[in-house]
Structure 1
């Protein structure tokens, strides 16, 4: 396998060089490229970033503070332990059942 690489080109130049793209689309893209100003684009991106930063800084200013949630750790531990024991019982029962089924299948084939 031989890898062939094309010289690096911006995406717009690749679109313009592609023969499957319609001429009308190529003309529209060319007009966009001629009218675009990278400095103005950069400035508008910076302005959008500044506005986003201001919105993030104001986040939560007008919200009322809620009381912290108090968690009863003893109750949680009891529930968790009960659920864990129930899960262990279920998995042990299914493991025993699958072992019994495997043994039954082996004895049928003998």
Structure 2
């Protein structure tokens, strides 16, 4: 059974002002995402859902153990999920907010003056 990737969210302007605890949690999410390797992994997983660690390692030219370590951090935060397929563990993005954030961040970076 496929799990629901996300629930509809209210607009930012309709949300109450961030309290300190929620702001700290949001900060932790941004810390997880503020790593170039994890961003590359997220992009690759978005491009190829249900990709294996071996396939990711080949695409990113990294060691599988290094990929696994970063995927674990993303999994712990609920951004990706794994499933076993024979000898392979495959990953997919389950938080579509992160996909949107990656896209928006990329757009912002492209438009920055050089």
Give the TM-score normalised by the residue count of structure 1: 0.24
Query: Whose Rg is larger?
Result: 1
Higher strand content, 1 or 2: 2
Give the TM-score normalised by the residue count of structure 2: 0.23
Higher helix content, 1 or 2: 1
